[in-house]
Amino acid sequence: MPFPDIDPVLIQIGPFAIRWYALAYIAGLLLGWRYIVRLTETNALWGGKGPATREEIDDLLLWAALGVILGGRLGYVLFYKPAYYFANPGDIVAVWEGGMSFHGGFLGVVLAIVLFARRKDIALWPLGDMVAAATPIGLFFGRIANFINAELWGRPSDAPWAVIFPTDPLGLPRHPSQLYEAALEGIVLFILLRFLTHHTDALKKPGTIVGAFITGYGASRICVEFFREPDAHIGYYAGIFTQGMLLSLPMVMIGLAIIFWAQRRTPQPQAKPASKKPRKKS
């Protein structure tokens, strides 16, 4: 299949350009924020009042955005191209050219949540559960943006849906691995977490959704790495493993450990309905 005729730049006026890549991040953050607001305002899911107020969730949006952008960029610099960026430090800020690491963004958001919870005196694990439940929304839009940018393409393939990317110097049909990731890390993982939050008592056992997200993402990423072309300057480890696999395998183990720990904790007590005041006898 030929690559769809999609310009990575939506609108350009002189040197100012609006790229689909930036819009994807904005859409993911805003829709994720709206979803978190809905979660925290649905008291039945928590067995009582949600862990944060609407105003606190509004403030969290900025913290999460900074965590994603700064962590994602620094993660890419350190995990994938440290030698290049140390030699060209001025290029580190060129985020518009692409180059974001999920694992770095994940660590950035974790740090942002920890600092935000301390500053606002909010329970850490319930706050993390809300953010984890909404994160697949951002991942979906991010992977679609990767496809539009014709970056992070897959390995050569003879599948009928293989795509010839314009950025591939070899011009080979390849797996559209960005779309595989959008499906697994975005749609499938969101549905799984949605089931846990709305059809089980997962939110009443803080940490369960965080663990499920970390495990689900790690497993999804490892699966997709079998179809994704590894970075040319890194290649394979031991002829099999990619950098993405090595960064995701610990996530699966840590996620499972968090789920096990959360399930063994005493469930949050359900909120008792307010008692009615007895009427005064006249």
pLDDT digits (tens, 9 = 90+) for 190-217: 999 999 999 999 999 999 999 999 999 9
What pLDDT, in 10s, does the model give residues 230-281?
877 677 777 788 888 898 999 999 999 999 999 987 655 444 444 444 544 4
In sequence order, what are the beta bridge partners of 12? 17
What pLDDT, in 10s, does the model give residues 68-98?
888 888 888 887 778 778 887 777 777 666 6
What pLDDT, in 10s, does the model give residues 157-172?
999 999 999 988 899 9
Residue 58 pLDDT > 60? yes
What global pTM score does this model have? 0.83
| CA distance linking residue 136 with residue 140, whole number of Å | 6
Average model confidence (pLDDT) across the chain: 86
Task: Check whether 143 is labelled as a binding-site residue.
Answer: yes
pLDDT at residue 253, as a whole number:
96
Give the H or E element holding residue 129: helix 124-148
Question: CA torsion sign, 133 to 136 to 142 to 144?
Answer: negative
Instruction: Give φ, ψ of 95 to 5 degrees.
Output: -65, -30
Length of the chain in residues, anyone?
A: 282
Percent residues over pLDDT 90 in the chain: 51
Instruction: Give φ, ψ of 271 to 5 degrees.
Output: -70, 135
DSSP letter string, 159-202? -TT-EE-TT-TT--EE--HHHHHIIIIIIIHHHHHHHHHHHSSG
